[in-house]
Structure 1
Amino acid sequence: MVEDVEATVQDRMKRRDALARKSPPLVWIILDENVLLRPIGGPEVMREQLALLHEVALMRTVTVQIVPQSSDYYLGLEGSFNGLTMEAGDLAFVEAPGGGRIVQSAPEVRDFGIRWARICASALPWEASRDLMAQAMERFA
């Protein structure tokens, strides 16, 4: 459980600001469709959040893909992680309640790259994913 909600929100807002920089990072996000359907915070909050997600998905440096509910088991169900490609090398960050861990070992980072590719293979193309986001927004209108 997050103790300082306000600080957590401010940290996330700062990360979002990175997308508006002169040289923004390339971001590729894969989400499970259930994220679009679970009414956390109520209909108004969900609509606002989905509208923001849809807006971000239209940015030239951002790709958002959705794994549909119709998919059977896929590797993303085993837990979330972030892959980071930097000049100094690739890393992965495995998320967990209360924190996570940074993965630096080349073989383990490569395994996360393979896992990522397999998760992407389960996701809808970006156009269909954006359409699904728009449909989800309408549900919360």
Structure 2
Amino acid sequence: MPAKRRPEELPDPKQNMWDLIAVILRYQRNQRGLSGDAMGRIIGASKSTVSRLETGDDRMDSKQAAAIDKAWDTGKLYTLLVWYAAIGHDPQWFAQYVRFEQRSEHLRIYEESVVPGLFQTEDYTRALLLAGTQLDPDMVLAERMERQGLLSRNHASHATIIVSQNALEWPIGSPEIMRSQLAHLLEMAALPNVIFRVVPRSWSVGAHQGLNGAFQLLSGDDFGEVVYTEAAGAGRLVSAPSEVRGYGVRYERISAKALDEGASADLIRRLMEDCK
């Protein structure tokens, strides 16, 4: 039996729409006297899935919302709540993202402007943070370094990384910091659970779907698949299956433009030589 959650660990409906959905679901299920198993039969899921929806560990998808609306004749309340939650800015987006990241078994990452956080050296990260608006860069730095452990722990996550050549050439910190960062990428790329590839900046590649921005696809047995997209100062988690599939297609199209692993490593070595 799972441990009972402390009040501060429960969903807070004032924090974001997803927590509001979780609270409403639990309230209305209890109001109807339904068990977790009975609720699971309505949405076509297990009792444990219902529990994760009510604690905010999972996010309701459009099919589950439609099933509840039909069973309870809500006037499409849940469908509308999920729709607004999916398109809106979530003030707790990063905390939600980290929870999915640490539970992920496979990460597919595309980055166009900087080295992905899980592959950054401490000096590279510090230089980025000092150039930004973080109120406590030391805390963010420590947290980012700690997160990187998921790639080296027992039963480490598998990571497939594609980066734009621009991300590897933009000068961050100093030539020494950049050389060290590129050398670190070569070390990480040699891990058995990591595939690292580069989209070259060339006329043969030209315009491609990666120019529309960075994103990450996170997969795990206990939550399925979600997508994280980012913008300046904000982020968004996408869980609707149709949208997730769209990002999967986009990732494959970007992958088709990338160099293979060997050629990517060769490009990184050339860029190291140019760090002066």
The interval holding the TM-score normalised by the smaller chain is over 0.9
1:140 and 2:140 correspond: no
| Consecutive unaligned residues in structure 1, runs of 5 or more | none
Going by fraction, where is helix more abundant, 1 or 2? 2
Out of 157, 160, 168, the residue aligned to residue 36 of structure 1 is: 168
Please give the alpha-carbon distance, in whole angstroms, between the structure 1 residues aligned to 2:144 and 2:187: 16
Equivalent-residue separation in structure 1 for 2:200 and 2:273 (angstroms): 17
Following the alignment from structure 1 to structure 2, what is the Cα–Cα distance between the partners of residues 38 and 94? 21
SS in 1 for 2:225: strand
Say which SS state the counterpart of residue 229 (structure 2) adopts: strand
Instruction: Report the equivalent of 1:47.
Output: 179
Tell me the SS of whatever aligns to 1:136.
helix
* Greater relative CO (CA pairs within 8 A, separation 6+): 1
- Structure showing greater radius of gyration is 2
Q: Which is worse superposed, 120-129 or 130-139? A: 130-139
CA-to-aligned-CA distance 1:62-110 (integer Å, 9 cap, x gap): 1111000102011111010000111121110011111201100000000
Q: Which amino acid aligns with 2:208?
A: Y
The corresponding residue for 2:241 is 106
Report the Cα offset of residue 124 of structure 1: 0.5
1:14 equivalent in structure 2:
146
Task: Give the equivalent residue in structure 2 for 1:62.
Answer: 194
Tell me how far 1:48 sits from its aligned partner.
1.0
More strand by share: 1
Counterpart of 2:155?
A: 23
SS of 2:201's equivalent in the other structure is coil
Q: Distance in 1 between matches of 2:138 and 2:161?
A: 24
Distance 2:138 2:166 in 1: 26
Secondary structure of the residue that 1:100 maps to in structure 2?
strand
1:131 alignment partner, one of 254, 258, 266 = 266
Provide the rounded CA distance (Å) in 2 between the counterparts of 1:72 and 1:123. 12
For residues 175 and 217 of structure 2, the distance between their equivalents in structure 1, rounded to whole angstroms, comes to 31
| Deviation (angstroms), 1:45 | 0.6
The amino acid of 2:134's aligned partner reads V
**Identity rate of aligned residues, in percent?**
39
Q: Secondary structure at the match of 1:92?
A: strand
1:3 and 1:127 map into 2 onto residues whose CA distance is 40
Pick which of 33-42 and 63-72 moved more. 33-42
Distance 2:182 2:136 in 1: 24
Q: Compute the displacement of 1:121 (Å).
A: 0.5
One of 251, 254, 257 as aligned partner of 1:116: 251
The count of aligned residue pairs is 141
Q: Which residue of 1 aligns with 2:226?
A: 91
When the two chains are superposed, the root-mean-square deviation of aligned CA atoms in Å is 1.2
